[in-house]
Structure 1
């Protein structure tokens, strides 16, 4: 596998090193030893799949806070998605920065999203499917989110949004971005 750093500290783009023969291709999707060699301490405990019939669908931005901090390793198993990580670690040098990468079933590319970074994606083809491994079990009481269109981040989604959940559409904006001071503005602390 080939590991490429992103502008979000600790987030990595991981490209497979496929082997081709008359049967097709083989590629490694995760290897604890290779991850450790790059300083990534990731032990998956759960795998989730999401299917989106319509291109333009946005899911996220989601994360889990302590005590169930969650890292993710995301890949596209059908179609294509634009995958995003946003740094919401209050003490991080890259706080508020985001990275995005196109993951397709064909390229086999993955995005590693560290703990306390929000994750989301947009399907850029109809009938797209994503598979992601997580380092923690799903814990609804620890779930938090950030708005996909928050001007504090300025994420450049490739397509107009065709579908999004009410929850994802209505996460609060970050403090100082269109909110009136003193009106219970969300802050970095809500991601601790």
Structure 2
């Protein structure tokens, strides 16, 4: 497993070792011992999966409030996503800054997003299947979001007319969002 640091402490792009031949390939997407050797000691307790049927489905920007904040390990099983993270840790020197990554079934990259970051993605092809592990259970009472099109963030999403859930249409901008992530 190769680990690549990003501009944010704790946010990593992980590239698993892939062993391929004429039949296809094999890879370990998660191995607790290897993660510990890389300095990642997150105890994942729930797996989630989403399927987006169309190009331009945007999910996010999501996070959960403390004490139910989540660390996420995201990967794409089929398709391609533009994946964005936003630092929402008050007092952080990078508060309100974002970074984006392309995750796909072909590059097999995974993105580790720690607590204290909002996360969202937009599908770049139809029938995109995203899988992610989390270290805290989903909690509707702690579930929050930030407007995907917050002008203060200026994230250059790959579409200006995304397909959104009703919930994602009504998130506040970061300056008005409830944030208590520890």
Normalised-by-shorter TM-score class: over 0.9
The alpha carbon displacement at 1:166 in A equals 2.4
User: Which residue in the other structure is 2:179 paired with?
Assistant: 191
Distance in 2 between residues matched to 1:46 and 1:95, nearest whole Å:
27
TM-score, structure 2 as length reference: 0.93
Q: Measure how far apart 1:157 and its partner are.
A: 1.0
1:1-150 counterparts in 2 under 5 A? Answer: 1-150=1-150
Equivalent in the alignment of 1:179: none
State the TM-score, normalized to the length of structure 1: 0.88
Structure ID, larger Rg: 1
Looking at structure 2, the residues matched to 174 and 23 of structure 1 have their Cα atoms a distance apart, in angstroms, of: 47
String of CA shifts for 1:48-77, please: whole Å, max 9, x gaps: 111111101100011111111210000011
* Alignment deviations for residues 62-116 of structure 1 (CA, whole Å, 9 cap, x no partner): 1111111210000011111111111101122221111111111121111111002
Q: Separation in 2 of the partners of 1:35 and 1:124?
A: 29
Distance 1:124 1:22 in 2: 28
Distance 1:41 1:76, change over 3 A: same
Gaps of 5+ in 1: 176-185
After superposition, give the CA deviation of every residue in 1:105-164 in whole Å (9 maximum; x if it has no partner).
121111111002111100000111100100001111111111111122111112333310
CA contact (8 A) 1:124 1:159 kept: no
CA shift, 1:9, in A, is 2.2
Does the CA contact (< 8 Å) of 1:68 and 1:139 recur in 2? yes
Q: Which runs of 5+ in 2 are unaligned?
A: none
Cα distance, 1:24–1:119 mapped onto 2, change above 3 Å: same
CA distance in 2, matches of 1:2, 1:56: 30
Provide the rounded CA distance (Å) in 2 between the counterparts of 1:6 and 1:152: 21
